[in-house]
Amino acid sequence: MTPSPASASADSAAGLSHGRVWNFSAGPSVLPMSVLEEVQHDLLNYKGQGMSVLEMSHRSKVYGNIISDAEATLRRVLKVPDNYSVLFLQGGGTGEFAASYLNLMASKAVREKQRKLGKPLKCDYLITGGWSKSGLKEVKRLGANANVVLDGVKSPSTGETVYNSLPPVSEWKLSKPEETAYVYYCENETVHGVETPANFVVDAVDPSVPVICDMSSNMLSRPVDVSRFGAIVAGAQKNMGPAGVSIVIVRKDLLERDESDPEVTRNLPSVLDWCYFDGAGSMPHTPPTFSIYVCGLVFKWAEAQGLEALSKLRDERSNMVYDEIDAHPEFFNGLVDKKYRSSMNLVFTLPTPELEAKFIAEAAERNMVQLKGHRSLGGIRISLYNAMPVEGARAFVDFMKEFYDKNH
């Protein structure tokens, strides 16, 4: 049974049925109820096969249909052009920090460009929060000739670097196109609640330079023009499925290698090698079979609603919360510049740590969980991914109003 618009409506109507809570976790995150019910229905005996997907050989025809259908659905939803490969990989987005660098530097086009230049190409990184900062740290470990295009903004009060906004493009320090291997950025910073507007980076980068985008926490939440990116990488456990699988959409010309060059893959482990997976339909060895199966169901659920509708819902949910934050800025202190605040991960603080602890505890009493901010930032974080019904956001705002009335 494929999730349909009717079942999508049922997700909202279900509310807190089945003894469930409003799960505002930043990841692994809430999944659509209709998807969970289909998984439950087929868990012991998948489509009359007499076994669970958990037990199924990845080499079986049945599983081959599952993974090929998942890829085909994702291609339709995102309108992925034919000159792009879609890969299902083990692990999460963190592994793609290294994989993105290693695969791009092994690309025939990039290596020819570097030979022509006669010196190492630069890898440009936009640091907008914790995840892009981690990505930069990883490639520096690997010896990348990294160039920091921007690193947050300076706090006007302390002069320290903070990650709550983006500087204007005129202040970016992009390398010369002929000296650049690629540009890397994270579109939505899960920890700091900063989201880069759609096309903001690709509009600023010379079209000859591949843009690599980490979309782990906002993939499928709004339309995206895949053709403008060299590669899109994403861990699934936010909007697309359970933990354990990452998805890469990469332009095929960037997968071309000069096999006569022995240095091409010398430092590229097969488990991170996009070509290795592309040549075997994402299954050179056992993939995260169950996670991919669930992702395929989520893709169908997203397709039934459409990305335009999901984009409107994400704005409706987040605007509810931001309106309440903006109504009482002296109490709900929003941490991010309004132009760049995330619709996925909303962060704010309360006047004291004691009030924050009380807020989290009382929210839990109302079946609202996973609201504590990331350990590196503190405060409150509410994550509103695709599968969170509008009713969940509305319940949270009602609680905010009550808490303000009692404690301001």
* Catalytic residue annotation: 131, 214, 238
Pair 204, 169: CB distance under 8 Å: yes
Q: HSE-up of 186 (CA within 13 Å, CB side)?
A: 29
In sequence order, what are the residues at sequence separation of 6 or more whose Cβ sits closer than 8 angstroms to the Cβ of residue 211?
A: 182, 183, 184, 185, 201, 202, 205, 228, 229, 230
What's the CA gap between 386 and 76, in Å, rounded?
A: 18
Cis peptide before 28 (omega within 30 of 0): yes
237 is written with which tokens? 């456990």
- At residue 321, what are phi and psi to the nearest 5 degrees? -70, -45
| C-alpha 381: how far from chain center | 16
Q: Which residue has the tokens 């996670």?
A: 291
Angle subtended at Cα 52 by Cα 291 and Cα 303, rounded to the nearest 5 degrees: 45
* d(C-alpha 368, C-alpha 394), whole Å: 12
Please give the torsion angle defined by the CA atoms of residues 132, 135, 136 and 138, in that order, rounded to the nearest 10 degrees.
160
| Other beta carbons less than 10 A from residue 94's beta carbon | 16
Gap between the Cα atoms of 319 and 110, Å rounded: 42
- In terms of C-beta density within 10 A (0-12 exposed, 13-18 middle, 19 or more buried), how is residue 211 classed? buried
